[in-house]
Amino acid sequence: MADSQARYQRLDGPGGGPVADTAAAQQAAARGPDYSELEVGEPQVFGDDDDARYYDEFASYDRRGAKTNAWRRKRFSLVQLCWAVLGCLGLYLAASMVWSSLVRGKGTPAPPLDVGGVASSEHRDIISAGAGDGVPADRTGKRLLTYDNVGSVNGLVQTRSLDWVAHPSDPDIDGLYREVAGDEFVVRSVSNETWKHTLATRADLVRASAELGEPFTPLGWSVSADWEYMLFNVRSERVWRHSVRGAYIVYNTRERTMAPLTATGNRDVQRVEWAPAGHRLQFVRDNNLFVTDMVHEIQVTEDGSDSVFNAIADWVYEEEVLGSAAAGLWSPDGNAVAYLRMDDSQVPVYQYPLYHPENRSAVYTEDIRLHYPKPGYANPRVTLHVYRPDFGGAAAAATKASANPDTDHRPQQITFEAPFDAADMVITNVAWMTDHSDRLMVYMMNRVQNHLKVYLVSADPKSLHGRVVRERNTGEGGGDGAWIEIGPSPIYVPANTVGNLTADGYVDLVENGEHTHLALFSPPDAAQPVRWLTAGAYDVVGASVVLSRKAAEVSFLSTQASSVNFNLYRVALNAAPGDAQPRALTPRTAASTHSRLGAAAARDGTYDASFSAGRGFYQLNYKGPQLPWQAVYSSGDAGFEVVLNDNANAQHELDGFQLPKTELFEIANEAGDKMNAMAVYPPDFDRSAKARYGVLFNVYGGPNSQHVSAAFALDWMSALVSQRDVPDMPWIVVRVDGRGTGYKGRRFRTSVAGKLGVLEPADQAAAARYFQRQPFVNPQRIAIWGWSYGGYTTARAIERHSDVFRVGMAVAPVTSWRLYDSVYTERYLRTPQDNRDGYAQSAVTNTTGFARARFLVQHGTGDDNVHLQNTLALADMLAAENVPGFEMAVYADSDHSIYTHGVRPALYARMVNFLFRSFHELENKEFDFWRHGDPDDDARILARRRPTARPAK
């Protein structure tokens, strides 16, 4: 349950070079939405072909008429009978007036008659919506989003990303990127349209692959730093969220030959990574590390097993610490690899079945065994090692590092000064603090992650030892005792990058009071920064920080303009906050008059960026709230612009739609904090309407997350607010980031420490009460839904605030933090031994609120992240209490994303169906029959099960 988007990228890497290229290839090969935490920090969108089938179930319910279906079961009262008579009379009068008008030869009917509070003109709009192309339209004649078309409409919006590469020999040549152009695999230049370097043609690859004796169908590709070799991913199987297992082919661009990456076990390669220099590769197979120079292959480790992981993350490190499967890192010169070894032999195994319902011959389940540490149980024991490959001399014939007679070329373990106990140690970051391979920086935390030690490590084979250079402990010296965020790795800054920087140093992201800012440390063993590069009541977004050595500047995203908008800034390394403030690069107001994008270049909103290898160019991505675009700009030439995608075609198509309206604002919680909020209103939203709209809250709420954003998005909730199938039940969708979420300061973020599930639902309830007071809202139609942590917040909201939320829908929720993983949970709740009350109070245990509401929970049986055990524990509790209005759906073999066998459309359809049906039934009181006729039945059953008391001795 990753808690921050900042952890999914390194602070600084080889400029989108080999490491990023290989990772991108693996991710592309294993593509599929990661809903593990509902994509923290960015609203969900979808747009594949399956979206056209999203609401088959809903369509079969509502297009027959929800009220007609329910009418058969409705208990009539005298008042209802009177309304029915009046309605019939009104329809008769209206029909008479229309007939009279037609008889008199007039072309239009008489003005609409208000029947039961709904104008007949509105009914005419709905009836006429089916004309033409069959897509509903509003009064302007523009089309509306529907459950059937929203996926394809969203798919109109295109994005493009450049895969930056470095020149193999001349660092002054910058702005290069790789792509497939027609039948060629090429490197191009953003600043010279005519320049092109062809790495291979399809004909070359087909000719070379013929010698392999098997089809060559690449899923992704990357190129070595010297451009002499290309790596193709030809088979890929997803393992966990970031990890894949597959097969790789290497192509020699000079000799035009092709061969498998490794002669044995090539179909089971777990990860690969090019060195930043030359063409060395590291890869992992069977949890063992290998290296190759394309001539010799050396097995570095030999103890890899189901419980020992070398240079690849185990489950909990992949998910909660590294945000990646990669646990090995080449040195900048390619002469050494630093890697983590994780020993899970003491970590308990969680086991769950795969049913394979699509395979009719599979009569027995397949059992998945996963080392998964839960709170209070053993964590993986992690150690750090350095290996220096030796591909020359007498040792070249050795296929295993252990056979090298020179001990300097065997794996060597790093030792640390005063480390945490091995059972409680978490290594969060490893970074080379050099341009060579002689020095590392390592970040280590205790088990509950409120005590950080920063080590400077000598990677010299003669003294592999780390000493503490910085330390922070929030549990001492008046600290708040709450967790310390796992940030991105520091950026190495060589001496003399700036005139007055006479010693090496580094840039790091550090909390300075309430907010996270950039600090410059020099020398590397300095305990305090030599200067703060940023300061103020805003946060620097960690994953975005990039250093340009040539310009001695740091570029970064921050929330300086707004906590829901990320904008790009630049600051000089020698600038103190009081002397020179960071310079805003977005929005590009001054350049908009000369831009091909026109006024779009000057739009306020949220952005991100990626930088070329030499940092002289950057791709700027405008993400919303209006239609996204991508363009390339120069760090040194303000007039340079290359538009990659302006989405003009998408804009033309979307102009034919009346889209929902989005508003960003703030709402106060009960403590007086201002919470970020956004509302999505129907296209024809009428603020003057009386008690017309229901409100569906879409919540996430996890620590340091962000769910409210200005990014452009069209999803199933966009169709919900646009729907005309149930015209007397229109909806507004609302998101609110309450206490615990990010970018609002440390106090706001850490207020949930030690007591998850208390403040988060309370803040959602405060926002719901705000909307209940709005005259256009029906105060009895308030619902809430969420996925993962959002599912947990939803369940807690129904449990504690069912007086506000009458319907809740949870997908893959945690229901007890004793059942989730230790690294995530103990970060916020500490251990169960230290905080027994916190765990007890954070679990969903009270059924009273559920009995007053309607609740739907959905989960995948193959969820390795939030185990089905959570939902089954909740379902058992609700069933045992015979709670009415509770429904559950499970999806065979689906993981946390619930995509297996194409079931995602059914999941959303079930939610839409449940939402409308639940409020109809609540408002017509149709659930009394759920109760037992004989309340003594359960008492008699329990009495039979109760053991007979033994007489005292």
| Cα 413 to Cα 705: distance, rounded to the nearest angstrom | 36
Residue 257 lies in a domain: no
User: Collapsing DSSP states into helix, strand and coil, what is residue 644?
Assistant: strand
User: Collapsing DSSP states into helix, strand and coil, what is residue 477?
Assistant: coil
Catalytic residue (one of 242, 279, 409, 896):
896
pLDDT digits 0-9 by tens, 89-109: 555 555 555 444 443 333 333
Q: Take residue 327 and report the two structure tokens written for it.
A: 């646990």
| Cα 831 to Cα 754: distance, rounded to the nearest angstrom | 10
Using the 3D structure, point to which of 130, 152, 174 is the last residue of a domain.
152
Residue 520 lies in a domain: no
Residue 579 lies in a domain: no
Catalytic residue (one of 763, 863, 864, 893):
863
| Cα 642 to Cα 626: distance, rounded to the nearest angstrom | 20
pTM for the model stands at 0.84
Backbone φ and ψ for 717, nearest 5 degrees, come out as -75, -25
pLDDT digits 0-9 by tens, 588-604: 876 555 788 888 888 99
pLDDT at residue 748 in the model: 97
Could you give the angle at which helices 789-801 and 759-772 cross, rounded to 10 degrees? 70
| Cα 605 to Cα 153: distance, rounded to the nearest angstrom | 22
User: Long-range contacts made by residues 288-294, C-beta under 8 angstroms, separation at least 24?
Assistant: 289/328, 289/337, 289/339, 289/387, 290/262, 291/337, 291/387, 291/389, 292/261, 292/262, 293/389, 293/391, 294/229, 294/250, 294/252
Catalytic residue (one of 788, 816, 842, 918):
788
Print burial letters for 868-895: b (CB count within 10 Å at least 16), e (below 16). bbbbbbbbebbeeeebbbbbbbbbbbbb
Number of domains in the chain: 2
pLDDT at residue 598 in the model: 83
pLDDT digits 0-9 by tens, 217-248: 899 999 999 999 999 999 999 999 999 999 99
Residue 535 lies in a domain: no
Burial of 364 (0-12, 13-18, 19+ CB in 10 A): exposed
Residue 433 lies in a domain: no
Give the residues of the chain that fall short of pLDDT 70: 2-140, 393-397, 576-580, 590-593, 926-953
- The full 3-state SS of 70-96, as one line of letters, equals HHCCCCCCHHHHHHHHHHHHHHHHHHH
Using the 3D structure, point to which of 91, 121, 152 is the last residue of a domain.
152
pLDDT at residue 887 in the model: 96
* Residue 310 C-alpha from the chain's centroid: 26
pLDDT at residue 602 in the model: 87
Look up tokens 């220096």; give the residue. 388
Catalytic residue status for 788: yes
Residue 471 lies in a domain: no
Domain boundaries, position 135? 66-152
pLDDT at residue 91 in the model: 57
Using the 3D structure, point to which of 117, 135, 152 is the last residue of a domain.
152
Residue 12 lies in a domain: no
Amino acid at 512: N
Q: Take residue 455 and report the two structure tokens written for it.
A: 């080590």
**Beta strand spans in 573-690 (E):** 583-584, 606-611, 617-624, 629-634, 641-645, 661-668, 674-681
Strand partners, 857: 810, 888
Residue 245 lies in a domain: no
Q: Take residue 538 and report the two structure tokens written for it.
A: 């805003």
| Cα 420 to Cα 362: distance, rounded to the nearest angstrom | 48
CATH number of the domain that residue 665 is part of: 3.40.50.1820
- Terminal-to-terminal C-alpha distance of the chain: 53
| Cα 864 to Cα 787: distance, rounded to the nearest angstrom | 15
Q: Identify the H or E element spanning 736.
A: strand 731-737
**Beta strand spans in 549-640 (E):** 553-562, 565-572, 583-584, 606-611, 617-624, 629-634
Which one, of 585, 944, 543, lies nearest residue 706 by Cα?
543
| Cα 641 to Cα 630: distance, rounded to the nearest angstrom | 10
Look up tokens 């739907």; give the residue. 856
